[in-house]
Amino acid sequence: MTIRFDGQVAIVTGAGNGLGRSHALALAARGARVLVNDLGGATDGSGGSLSSAEQVVEEIRAAGGEALVNGANVADNNEVEAMVQQALDAWGRVDILINNAGILRDSTFSKGSLDDFWKVVDVHLKGTVNCTKAVWDVMREQGYGRIILTASASGLYGNFGQSNYGTAKAAMIGLMNVLHLEGARNNIRVNILAPTAATRMTEGLIPEPVLPLLAPEAITPGVLYMVSEEAPSRVIMGAGAGVFAVSRMYESEGLFLPEQERTPEVIAERFAEISDSTGQHELKEASQQTMRFVQKAATALGVALPKS
């Protein structure tokens, strides 16, 4: 099977450098028409010029592809809506959205300012919501869409000094879970990329000898699969240094406690049983947890539940 994107239109945010650039070039090389978005400027989100995004567009065109440049700030919904309209005016549809734009304002929670905290959340979370909302009805009406949300191991597992970034990135999980359910009937598939790459956002954080292993190009193949026609949905793919993995959230089997035992002391005493990973479950939607708990309680009490 060869994955191609002929006739499809893709929007890639933060595509002037690093991961976004790699994604945009790879999509174009496989036939997609690409709108290359980048606010420009430094990694603090201060903006600057379109030069990096324009260079990506010129690279795509030089290789025989179609591309447009766009300088929208993803945290500004009016600019985002204009960006999507630009793609629609030029090509009439949007098939793929890769939410990649981001900034860093690293600091411990104690020392960091609230202004910096919300600035990071605005770009990563609000920006992702703005872009996804702007293409959502377009994809619903055309009965096709592929959306990537970019998370991070900082959001999945934590990273010292990145409470703002980790908060925004963890929020992608909840957004993906709901959009996966709401988009399914219209053939919209939503996935998360949790990358580890050497980009302008990680300068100075990764030792020089390791940098070649962490090139953005080592990650992009996973993205291309997750925005392809045969893409999965509701997948968190970790990628870096040519390694690809899937992260999942599990819930332990759980322990029913009779009413007289529902005290913090009993929970403390039996916490090892409560947290035992034996027989753990991967839940597909929130109602499954409710019904699982009800079933477990009913079984313990000898109550027969009506068959659905």
Q: Which residues are catalytic, by number?
A: 165
Q: What secondary structure does DSSP assign to 185-210, as a single string?
A: GGTEEEEEEEE----GGGTTTS-GGG
* Helices 51-62, 18-29: crossing angle, 10 deg rounding: 20
Contacts of 50 (CB under 8 A, 6+ apart): 16, 38, 40, 69, 71
Strand partners, 12: 36, 98
For residues 294 and 300, give the distance between their C-alpha atoms in angstroms, rounded to a whole number: 10
Q: What is the DSSP letter of 23?
A: H
* Alpha-carbon span 111 to 75, nearest angstrom: 24
Residue 122 DSSP one-character state = I
Beta strands in 48-126 (DSSP E): 67-70, 96-99
